[in-house]
Chain A
């Protein structure tokens, strides 16, 4: 299924303060708001954003409504509700859920907010930026007072390192995370995996392939047997890409 785009795509981005992310379309803005509900604050209620939505995205009506909310002293909840309601981008139930999450965000600590931002950046493949956020999160947390939160931050930082193939740094993070939270089987397993990869131990590729990777390996093998060099190379590239994607998925954050 496909969805009609809402508004235009802007040639120049709108930068949300403190996020480091440029927004080019309504859908990107909606995704950012949804994924960072717990970290949102009233800085997003900005007339510049309304101007951007009007001039660059062509969403004049929505921009007017949001501008009215800003200028009449409306709350962040009113702003987010209007944003999703008037564009029919979320169902009534989803909007109510978002309102509940917004209500609970006051209870989040600074380190939790930084960590969640790092988690958002990891999803978008921005691993270096994610590591920076995790570092700031870790600086705000007291390991002794909140070992599980510290472990969570370190584990996710390890995931960011692993996805950048920095296995040594990843292993270090996973190890510390496990030490802080010995109940975390995932941290232990991922530490073991990182160490294995560091030591160059990779089990027989063929034996461990399944699904799409196996099909691509089979295709590569067939072409190699037929001495079809050009296609062979293409299959090999496809197989490597599949393995890389699977590898990245195998390191998951909390």
Chain B
């Protein structure tokens, strides 16, 4: 099989999206330019359909089509996919919103001419926050890619920022990193916190929203500049930072001269509109195994498991713990399975250990529904996944014992709360 050499990072939002790619062995990540301007990476997340058997258009083409024919645009594709109601499209036809989102993403993937669908090794999609429905929606939307692309993940903007920052030389993050994300919806300050006392190191973001900065007004730019200066000064007083990143539509304008001068005197400062898509692309490269960031640093956010889950088992006469799921994995990525032999007590012992306070909890899964058989003559298949944040599903399947004891063919599922 030919090796795949392209990693894709997509920043998916309801107003606009961006796509970046990188080629294995090449260090730079390229973001697709939507127009002639230097920093124009934004592809509107909109769709428009010509009535009748007409085709669907997306992005700028959709806007142009809507203008030309006096049609309405379908906007808010992500939100509509979450709600799930079928969408009317300029005629009496309706379409499944998740399918439409999938079509939009396919459109995005075809924009960079350098990218071939058959050469994609990994795709990472980043969204502002990975809500509970997002993994399932994106799994369905990216169905056509799942069978060919070996690796796929969905990450938050915070995690994308982590990948972006730590993919740069250590001088740019060793003493700390700040991110200011300023749009019409929010002004968010994030600081990366790296705990190198652990192996692998644990990375988190401390986020703070400033409501007073919303909405931005160009007419009062001096006021906002002063407020911004105060915010940054307070934060930088807490400790040195190696780099400050500025992203978001409000930072396109040059209204914060005072604050920029202050920041530049204290740290390296970078401004750009494609931080998250690039971060997602770095994450995709790491997922494909081209870098080792993910093995040296674990990013912890609210989607990550804060507990290790192990199976208590006996081997060669000794009791041991077999790790099934490690802390730091996103709940929607939990997909572990294991085969073992059941004892006559027909119990499966799981140990759930919190990595926050070290608290250990034993969970016993009773398998009385499996027929009684002699010791070590029932093979069971155990699979674990998280149907949502905070819950773990444990499925046990009776596999019988070859031709000696036929399997009852039953599977039972238990749901337990996890940290």
Contacts and interface: CB of A to CB of B under 8 A. Distances in A.
Interface of A: 1-5, 9, 13, 21-25, 27-28, 31-32, 87-88, 91, 123-125, 245
A25 B347 contact: no
14 contacts: A1-B312, A1-B313, A2-B312, A2-B343, A3-B315, A3-B340, A4-B313, A4-B315, A13-B402, A21-B404, A24-B402, A27-B401, A28-B401, A91-B317
A28 B343 contact: no
B339 interface: yes
A3 B320 CA distance: 10
B273 interface: no
B317 A88 contact: yes
Interface string B305-349: 000000111111100101000000000000000011111010111
Given A2-B311, A27-B401, A124-B403, 11 more contacts: A1-B343, A2-B340, A2-B349, A3-B313, A3-B341, A4-B313, A4-B314, A21-B402, A21-B403, A24-B403, A32-B404
A28 B406 CA distance: 12
B411 interface: no
A85 B316 CA distance: 10
B150 interface: no
Contacts of B117: none
Nearest to B365: A2
Most buried by A among B312, B314, B345, B402: B402
Nearest to B374: A31
A3 B376 contact: yes
Nearest to B371: A245
Residue with the greatest number of chain B CB neighbours at <10 A, chosen from A2, A4, A22, A27: A2
A88 B316 contact: yes
A125 B343 contact: no
A5 B340 CA distance: 5
Given A5-B339, A23-B402, A31 B377 contact: yes
A88 to B, nearest CB: 4
A5 B376 CA distance: 9
Contacts of A9: 339, 379
B interface secondary structure, majority: strand
B405 interface: yes
Contacts of A21: 402-404
Top 6 nearest A-B pairs (CB, nearest first) are A88-B316, A1-B343, A4-B315, A2-B340, A3-B341, A24-B402
B343 A31 contact: no
Counting chain B CB atoms within 10 Å of each CB, the highest count among A1, A4, A22 belongs to: A1
Contacts of B380: 2
Contacts of B374: 31, 123
A22 B400 CA distance: 14
B202 to A, nearest CB: 30
A3 to B, nearest CB: 4
Contacts of B347: 1
A32 B404 CA distance: 9
A121 B316 CA distance: 29
Contacts of A3: 313-315, 340-343, 376
B345 A1 contact: yes
B314 A28 contact: no
Contacts of A88: 315-317
A149 to B, nearest CB: 25
A145 B36 CA distance: 105
Given A2-B340, A4-B322, A25 B402 contact: yes
Contacts of B339: 5, 9
A190 to B, nearest CB: 21
A1 B340 CA distance: 10
A124 B405 contact: yes
A188 to B, nearest CB: 27
Contacts of B404: 21, 28, 31-32, 124
Contacts of B343: 1-3
Nearest to A15: B403
Nearest to B348: A2
